[in-house]
Amino acid sequence: MSKLVGAALLGQSGGPTSVINASAAGVFIEALGQENITNVYGAIHGIKGILNEDFYDIGQEDMDELLRLKNTPSSAIGSVRFKLKDPNVDSSEYERLLEVFQKYNIRYFFYNGGNDSMDTCNKISKFFKDHDFECRVIGVPKTIDNDLNVTDHSPGYGSAAKYVATSLMELYHDATVYDTKMITVVEIMGRNAGWLTAASALAQSKGQGPDLIYLPELPFDLDDFYTQVLDVLNTKGKVIVAVSEGIKTKEGKYIPEIYTDLKRDAFGHAQLGGTAQVLAQELERRTNVKVRAIEFSLLQRSAAHLASKVDVEEAFNAGKEAVKAAISGKTDFMVGFKRLSSKPYQMEYVLIPLDEAANTEQKVPLEWILPHGKGMTQEYIDYALPLIQGDCKAELEDGLPRFAKLKKVRVTKK
Amino acid sequence: MSKLVGAALLGQSGGPTSVINASAAGVFIEALGQENITNVYGAIHGIKGILNEDFYDIGQEDMDELLRLKNTPSSAIGSVRFKLKDPNVDSSEYERLLEVFQKYNIRYFFYNGGNDSMDTCNKISKFFKDHDFECRVIGVPKTIDNDLNVTDHSPGYGSAAKYVATSLMELYHDATVYDTKMITVVEIMGRNAGWLTAASALAQSKGQGPDLIYLPELPFDLDDFYTQVLDVLNTKGKVIVAVSEGIKTKEGKYIPEIYTDLKRDAFGHAQLGGTAQVLAQELERRTNVKVRAIEFSLLQRSAAHLASKVDVEEAFNAGKEAVKAAISGKTDFMVGFKRLSSKPYQMEYVLIPLDEAANTEQKVPLEWILPHGKGMTQEYIDYALPLIQGDCKAELEDGLPRFAKLKKVRVTKK
């Protein structure tokens, strides 16, 4: 193994999670302790920050505050939604990245994101190799959607799942308080994969959750849905429905789209609103029962106060493992999780070639999804439960979370 | 003081809170230990349960589960929205209540609710007195809206305020993650009083909250609002707005109503949506910036996992104090809180005549509200901070809250 001496850079990409800062903390703290790493930088808003030579000098930060990142939601260094151009069509962005990496002698590059991001760092790494610039590139997974391939799960999922299950249990208690008929429709994130909506089955398994659960992996039929809701309504008088924002008809239309069509037919104009709201309006029209639409919205990905301890520690360790792997000479891998056992939960960190992790989507296995909105099988429950264990949150200051306060010293442009 | 021997009955009324069960636990546990109290009943869905002779026999419950009520959101015995008729117009409901109280020898009646409920128990008490039925009636306050009169604050407010402030801090981190312009509009409960929206200023005081805060105590002007949002947008690029669901124009119209008018003018049809959603649509139209509407919805009143320890303990103790007061011979009072000092926080339980507590609304003092949506004065911060201190939540079972499981044994009808 060659001894490679230079700076380390972390960038983050895509929608944040409760624990993406925990991974940043893992990368930063591990990198600061490595003698081959001369400087530790955080790219401000991911790839954009690199293109603009816009970095934080993490060496200037206090260790206490870096540790507080473990319990601080979202991305302290900033994230970005930015797709690099195809280098075969236009390589100018890649040339610029190479120029910046050379100028700052960045020899360790860590990129924390979802499958798009793994594709990005894969392409960057290949470009650097083709131009004989030695730089070790390791991806760190991140997504509440849990849709990254090959790895058993991804940091961010466990905490978001815990939020979804806990909040649904609480809503269950709230929704059953009156003796009047009521339907509650809760919308959960996940455009293509239903992992997060599936977490509502954890509340259901406690008898304090949704009656009906709809994932985007199965086609959604509005009339079947209505029949299923009515069945529960007639039996129990209360219905709680958990729907993924991404449910689609067998023709591939999202719910707000079909409703727009319905409404267009009836009144000649389009209707705004998310999936839950549209379903709520339609149910209210059909049942004459009070229907409430609730969106967990950004809360489900930022509620660090309800983070899973397992998730926080794994996110932190994934960051550390990425640095250790790079220092040991590895490149072009993503840190992944391999489950050895669920009861008791045993997991080991593994390195997954970026090629395998990039650009593919891991959906919920169809055999784990019960038909007719009935929920999830025990296999899913056994899979998910270990990921939501334990509490881990910021200490309180004045009764409110004391989140990390970084100095955010910018690196002087060269 | 006469020795009054008989059953005790608790009813709950109105929208639930994170700690309304804590007050129930206080009443039940204290009543079960009183030798003058022969039976402890819970009215199923409040007044409706009494009219129907539908009670739980709390004496059948395990003490462990009753204690778990302290951390279980919403009302385990069920609540109700039901207004008794004016006894001077139609006294049949009051006669029925008297009949039921006599039949079950209920001599201690505790009613847990807001100002309507205090009015209800006041009327019931007067009716019983007029009919020479001795029954001691004590109200226990409850409302996330904090709008009960005379008492310094009400159980339920502290926990909801903590939820609002914590969630806004987390949303602040989420909303600032990209370097693109964005506006977030968060809608908070409180139709007439802005106490809960004011709690967003606790997040603001940490530099991690909304830029603009709008309470229903001040008239809302859409053009001024737009100017204020634009000011922040031009300076910071990001705007977070906290609005009460109850903000109204100086003509007394709620926001969805004025928007309906606007839309009617423009397109000839009405538009659905809550306050935040309507403001978001209007801001997006005017600014061309991405705007996100978030409603805390039922989560803000049911998020027991984020309850304030001060609130939980006060709610529990208020229930106990109610029983102790009744046993000591008091009737026609509501348990209230009198603040002795904010720094350090010192409070004593007091008895407030039901007449004073009933049917009046305590709004946020105008002198605590900064103009132009700027937030709240330090007086408000000093008032609110003691109420959100400490954590107090259910133990975890499988990583999820272990809420109380009552046996719910129904009392045999006589």
User: What is residue A270's predicted lDDT score, i.e. its pLDDT?
Assistant: 43
State whether residue A9 is helix, strand or coil. strand
Contact A169 B273 (CB under 8 A): no
Same domain, B17 and B141: yes
Query: How much is the pTM?
Result: 0.96
Task: Say yes or no to pLDDT of B174 above 60.
Answer: yes
For testing contact with chain B, the best of A52, A112, A174 (most B CBs within 10 A): A174
User: Within 13 Å, how many C-alpha atoms sit on residue A135's CB side?
Assistant: 34
A83-97, B331-345, B394-408: the lowest-pLDDT one:
A83-97
User: Any idea which residue has 């993924």 for tokens?
Assistant: A244
Domain boundary among A256, A274, A300: A300
Contact A305 B166 (CB under 8 A): yes
Q: Give pLDDT, residue A61.
A: 98
Assess if residue B383 is contained within a domain.
no
- Residue A3 pLDDT: 87
Asked if the structure places residue A27 within a domain, the reply is: yes
Q: How far is CA A364 from CA A148, A149, A161, A384, in A?
A: 11, 11, 14, 12
Question: Is A1 contained in some domain?
Answer: no
Contact yes or no for B140/B27 (Cβ under 8 A): yes
Angle at which helices A255-267 and A275-287 cross, to 10°: 50
| Residue-wise pLDDT tens digits, A340-379 | 999 999 999 999 999 998 877 899 999 999 999 999 999 9
Q: Which residues of A touch B72 (CB under 8 A)?
A: 173
Per the prediction, chain B carries an average pLDDT of: 94
Q: Which CATH number is A44's domain given?
A: 3.40.50.450
CATH number, domain with residue B276: 3.40.50.460
Any idea of the CA torsion for B260, B262, B265, B270, to the nearest 10 degrees? -20
Return the residue of A nearest to B202 by Cα: A400
Query: ∠B327-B331-B333 over CA atoms, to 5°?
Result: 115
Among A274, A300, A326, the domain-final residue is A300
pLDDT at position B139 over 90: yes
pLDDT at A271: 43
pLDDT at residue A382 greater than cutoff 70: yes
Catalytic annotation on B145? yes
Q: Which residues of B touch A269 (CB under 8 A)?
A: 267, 269
Instruction: Kindly list the residues from chain B whose CB atom is less than 8 angstroms away from the CB atom of residue A391.
Output: 396
Same domain, A86 and A131: yes
Q: What is the pLDDT of residue A173?
A: 98
Residue A78 has its nearest CB partner, among B177, B306, B388, at B177
Tell whether the model's pLDDT for residue A98 goes beyond 70: yes
Q: Are residues B289 and B210 in the same domain?
A: yes
Residue A258: what pLDDT? Answer: 79
**Interface mutation target, options B177, B189, B206, chain A, most CBs of A under 10 Å:** B177
CA A5 vs. chain centroid, Å, equals 33
Residue B272 has pLDDT above 60, yes or no: no
Nearest CA of chain B to the CA of A295: how many Å?
8
pLDDT tens-digit readout, A106-122 = 999 999 999 889 999 99
* Nearest-Cα residue of chain A relative to residue B80: A178
Instruction: Judge whether A259 lies within some domain.
Output: yes
Contacts of B48 in chain A (CB under 8 A): 179
B195 Cβ contact partners less than 8 Å away, ≥ 6 residues apart:
B145, B146, B147, B157, B161, B364
Nearest residue of B to residue A397, measured between CA atoms: B389
Mean pLDDT of A329-350: 97
Confidence of residue B273 (pLDDT cuts 50, 70, 90): low
When pLDDT is averaged across residues A141-170 and rounded to a whole number, the result is 97
Interface pTM, i.e. ipTM: 0.96
Mean per-residue pLDDT over chain A, rounded = 94
Residue B262's pLDDT band (boundaries 50, 70, 90)?
A: low
Compare CB distances from B303 to A170, A273, A308 and report the shortest one's residue: A170
Chain A interface mutation, best of B400, B403, B408, B410, highest count of A Cβ atoms under 10 Å: B400
Q: Which of B145, B147, B152, B211 is catalytic?
A: B145
Range of the domain at B323: 6-145+304-360+389-401
Taking contacts as CB-CB distances below 8 angstroms, the residues of chain A near B163 are none
Q: What does residue A39 show for φ and ψ, rounded to 5 degrees? A: -145, 150
pLDDT exceeds 90 at position B113: yes
Query: Do B60 and B183 sit in the same domain of this protein?
Result: no
Minimal Cα distance from B301: which residue of A? A174
Domain boundary residue, one of B279, B302, B325: B302
- If one counts the domains in chain A, the total is 2
B5-45 pLDDT, tens digit each: 999 999 999 999 999 999 999 999 999 999 999 999 999 99
Cβ–Cβ below 8 Å for B302 and A170: yes
Residues in A touching B391 (Cβ below 8 Å): 396
The per-residue pLDDT for B269 is 40
Q: Do B294 and A295 touch (CB under 8 A)?
A: yes
A269 to chain B: closest CA residue = B269
Quick one: tokens of A397? 């200051």
Test A80 with B179 for CB contact under 8 angstroms: yes
pLDDT in tens, B41-93: 999 999 999 999 999 999 999 999 999 999 999 999 999 998 899 888 999 99
**Residue B27 dihedral angles phi and psi, to the nearest 5°:** -60, -50
Distance separating alpha carbons of residues B64 and B406, to the nearest angstrom = 10
